[in-house]
């Protein structure tokens, strides 16, 4: 044991030295030589997701006669096994479903909720904020909703059983797979957290050390858990043996979750929000998923601006986009939270009139001196946060569609693994505001505000594009850029997804840096600096901006095109 601890200390010293010599953390780096086109084609049905094994799982279910909902849940479960650092049954999310025969769009909200005992100052001690409690602590864990949401979707809109659609995920967890460079680099970045929260015997460490590329990763404990849920149903997770293990793990680390919190969790089926952009319709999730609202806002802003005249990646386009984001973030901080508990002026925020007011605030030649100030600050934003979520898209032969985003928040979530279960618990309580007076402050059984924005874009009344992405507060910015890349700048789907990205926000009325991938031409960046933007260069293909997945539905008879982001291990498949 002494030798093992000494060896670990040497590893940590070496890792710290490596990181000190590296401009950005390993999982943010996507060198050009790793970039590969991710353009996929199919004639009848397609699945696109963040890992090839998850795609294989979804396609397998489609070939066995399952519909898009069945395949989406199989893919979501497989991502828990193949990409466990980003999502799983210890987390939550949202899905947008289109039912072709009924021509109906619906949304399932399976976002986590705060425990009943949560209150606005729960992360403060003697009046001082305790940041660690929000990330690596039992208080960081919100009540998981993934299993409840998957099960609801299957029972209402699927055709196969939970036991059937879980089989591919069980197989992946049982037999394992070679670790990718993405998995390995993220594992190294989160090494301290995993050691602290789950110990050196963690199933997410290789004999106490991070996994290296090519190492075999198996998770028999997760396979056992999924097999148990498949056999006995989700009640064992929310009211039985697994519920007890979850509560024990959370409370052991100082949390307040109870068995009643788990037993009372229910997903919600809600009406989608609809926005328009010229002759396109955006169908997306409502609050507490703010990504949909902000995508509608951004597209309304750009609807009447001369984008084609300005040109793709032009200084004017990027300037207006960055300024629009900064004004939007000011209002996000002032108004947004869980609509079950607070009144939000949604109609005004997504109106065309509101978009015109925001356009009028933007100076075409320079950065604004200030942005609408409010009493509240947006959720904490940091360069260190990355695309700690995942997205999948499915289109089946009948034309049914699922766009699903799910997460455990930060990579490897809270780092807490309930004993013997093999799955990670989320740290989504960190998505509540740090300010106890914010509309997004923690509260009893509230949903934390989310930036997720899974969507289906319709063109002239027909499904045209299925799209979503991880990426925290960069989600809605990235998705809007992808949409505009396609419908305004004429890029193909994969080209639109791989295109250089940029992002900014405001904090307490002040502009924050303009974060850009370094592939954007230097001449453009020089012009933006002349306008007053402070440029922060990111890697060429940076996970900071998420990992989008999409399916383009071509006119009748022309099939499907899939695009998967090379910023992660995205992949697509179909037939």
Phi, psi of 560 (to 5 degrees): -125, 145
**CA of 469: how far to CAs of 322, 547, 567, in Å?**
19, 5, 11
Question: Pick the catalytic residue: 136, 389, 421, 480?
Answer: 389
**CA of 187: how far to CAs of 122, 217, 410, 430, in Å?**
29, 12, 12, 20
Residue with tokens 């901080």: 333
- Report which of 404, 573, 401 is spatially closest to residue 56, judged by C-alpha positions: 573
Distance CA 346, CA 66 (A): 37
Number of residues in the chain: 575
What does the block give as tokens for 327? 């004004």
SS3 360: helix
> Is residue 7 annotated as part of the catalytic site, yes or no?
no
Residue with tokens 């200390």: 9
Q: Do 417 and 424 form a contact (C-beta atoms < 8 A)? A: yes
Distance CA 415, CA 226 (A): 19
Give the burial string for 194-223 (b: 16+ CB within 10 Å, else e): bbebbeeebbbbbebbbbeeebebbbebbb
How many degrees, rounded to 5, is the angle at CA 480 between CA 475 and CA 484? 150
What does the block give as tokens for 466? 């299925």
Instruction: Give the DSSP H/E element, type plus range, for residue 469.
Output: none
- Report which of 220, 125, 103 is spatially closest to residue 172, judged by C-alpha positions: 220
Q: Do 502 and 321 form a contact (C-beta atoms < 8 A)? A: yes
Give me the active site residues, please: 389
């Amino acid at each position: 044991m002494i030798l093992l601890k000494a060896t670990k200390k040497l590893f940590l010293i070496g890792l710290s030295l490596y990181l000190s010599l590296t401009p950005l953390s390993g999982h943010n780096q996507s060198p050009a030589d790793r970039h590969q086109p991710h353009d996929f084609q199919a004639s009848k049905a397609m699945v696109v997701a963040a890992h090839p094994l998850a795609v294989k799982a979804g396609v397998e279910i489609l070939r066995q006669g399952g519909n898009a909902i069945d395949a989406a849940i199989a893919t979501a479960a497989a991502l828990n096994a193949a990409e466990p650092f980003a999502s799983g049954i210890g987390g939550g999310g949202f899905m947008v479903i289109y039912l072709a025969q009924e021509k109906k769009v619906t949304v399932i909200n399976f976002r986590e909720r705060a425990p009943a005992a949560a209150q606005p100052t729960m992360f403060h001690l003697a009046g001082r904020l305790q940041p660690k409690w929000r990330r690596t602590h039992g208080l960081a864990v919100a009540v998981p909703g993934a299993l409840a949401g998957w099960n609801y979707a299957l029972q209402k809109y699927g055709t196969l059983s939970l036991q059937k659609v879980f089989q591919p995920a069980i197989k992946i967890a049982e037999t394992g797979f070679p670790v990718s460079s993405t998995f390995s680099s993220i594992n190294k970045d989160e090494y301290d957290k995993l050691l602290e929260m789950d110990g050196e015997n963690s199933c997410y460490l290789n004999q106490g050390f991070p996994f290296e590329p090519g190492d075999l990763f198996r998770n028999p404990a997760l396979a056992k858990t999924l097999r148990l849920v498949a056999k006995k149903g989700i009640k064992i997770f929310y009211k039985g043996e697994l519920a007890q293990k979850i509560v024990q793990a959370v409370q052991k680390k100082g949390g307040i979750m109870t068995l009643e919190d788990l037993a009372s969790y229910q997903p919600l089926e809600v009406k989608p929000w609809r926005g328009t952009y010229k002759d396109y319709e955006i169908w997306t999730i409502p609050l507490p998923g703010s990504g949909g609202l902000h995508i509608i806002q951004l597209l309304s802003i750009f609807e009447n601006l001369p984008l084609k005249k300005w040109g793709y990646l032009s200084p004017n386009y990027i300037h207006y986009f960055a300024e629009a984001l900064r004004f939007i973030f000011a209002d996000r901080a002032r108004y947004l939270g869980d609509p079950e508990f607070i009144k939000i002026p949604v109609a005004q925020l997504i109106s065309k009139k509101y978009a015109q007011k925001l356009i009028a605030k933007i100076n075409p030649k320079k950065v604004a001196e200030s942005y609408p100030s409010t009493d509240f600050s947006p959720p904490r934003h940091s360069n260190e946060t990355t695309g700690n979520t995942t997205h999948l898209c499915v289109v089946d032969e009948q034309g049914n569609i699922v766009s699903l985003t799910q997460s455990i928040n930060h990579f490897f979530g809270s780092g807490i693994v309930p004993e013997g279960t093999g799955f990670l618990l989320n740290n989504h309580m960190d998505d509540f505001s740090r300010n106890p007076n914010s509309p997004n402050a923690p509260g009893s059984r509230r949903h934390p505000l989310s930036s997720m924005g899974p969507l289906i874009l319709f063109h002239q009344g027909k499904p045209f594009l299925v799209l979503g992405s991880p990426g925290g507060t960069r989600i809605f910015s990235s998705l809007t850029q992808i949409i505009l890349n396609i419908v305004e700048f004429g890029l193909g789907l994969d080209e639109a997804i791989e295109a250089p990205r940029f992002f900014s926000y405001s904090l307490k009325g002040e502009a924050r840096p303009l974060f850009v991938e370094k592939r954007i031409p230097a001449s453009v960046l020089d012009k933006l600096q002349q306008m007053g933007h402070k440029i922060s260069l990111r890697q060429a293909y940076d996970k900071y901006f998420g990992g989008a997945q999409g399916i383009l539905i071509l006119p009748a008879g022309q099939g499907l095109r899939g695009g998967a982001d090379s910023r992660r291990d995205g992949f697509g498949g179909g037939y």
